Amino acid sequence: MAINNLKDIYIDQAQDIYSACNQSEKVTRELADAAHDESLKNALLAGVDGIRDGKDALAKIIKGHDADPTGEFCKGMEGLVKEARSHALEEEITDPSARDAMIITQYQRMAHYAIAGYGCLVAFAQRLDLKDDAKILQDCLSHTAEGDRTMTDLATGGINKAAV
C-alpha cells in the first residue's frame, strides 16, 4: 500500500499494531506458563485476554476502512518477542523469582511498544475526526497502560525483592 496521507499512515499503523498483538499474544501465554508467582501468572493471563480484545477492536476498525487487518507484519514486535523468548524462557535462570522478574521486564517492553502504537493511533484518529475509532483506541491504550502498571506493582511489590 502506498502511503499518501495521514489516513494511509493510520491504516498502516493499525495493521502494524494488529500484527504486534498477534505476536505478543502467543508469547504472553508462554510467559504465563513459565511464571512462578501466582499473581504474575494471573496478570499475564489477563494480559492475553486484553491483547485479544485489542486485536479484535483493531480488526473491526481496519475492516471498517476497507482494509485487511493482516496487511502488515510488525518487525518491531518480532524482535521483542524473540528477546522475550531468549531472555525469559530459554535463558538458564535457576531462581524462580529471578525468572519472574525477567518475565515482567520482557512483558513490559512489549507493552510499551503497544502503548506507543496505540497512542499514535489515537492521535491520528482524532486528527482524522474518526471519533468512534479514537474512543475504541483510547480504551485499548488505557487497558494496555493499566496492564503495564500492574506489572510494575507486582515487580515492586515483592517479585524483585524475592529475586535479590
Residues 27-41, mean pLDDT to the nearest whole number: 98
CB 83 within 8 A of CB 106: yes
Residues 25-46, mean pLDDT to the nearest whole number: 98
Handedness of CA 150, 152, 156, 159 (dihedral sign): positive
Q: List pLDDT tens digits, range 126-140.
A: 999 999 999 999 999
- DSSP assignment of 84-95 equals HIIIIIIS----
- The closest of 106, 115, 104, 111 to 151, measured between CA atoms, is 104
Q: List pLDDT tens digits, range 44-91.
A: 999 999 999 999 999 999 999 999 999 999 999 999 999 999 999 999
Report the SS3 class of residue 2.
coil
- The DSSP code for 43 is H
Q: List pLDDT tens digits, range 102-126.
A: 999 999 999 999 999 999 999 999 9
How crowded is residue 99: how many other Cβ atoms within 10 Å of its Cβ? Answer: 24
Domain annotation for the chain: domains and CATH numbers: 6-163 (1.20.1260.10)
**How far, in Å, CA of 114 to CA of 131, rounded?**
20
Residue 68: its H or E element:
none
Task: Name the one residue in this structure whose C-alpha cell is 518477542.
Answer: 81
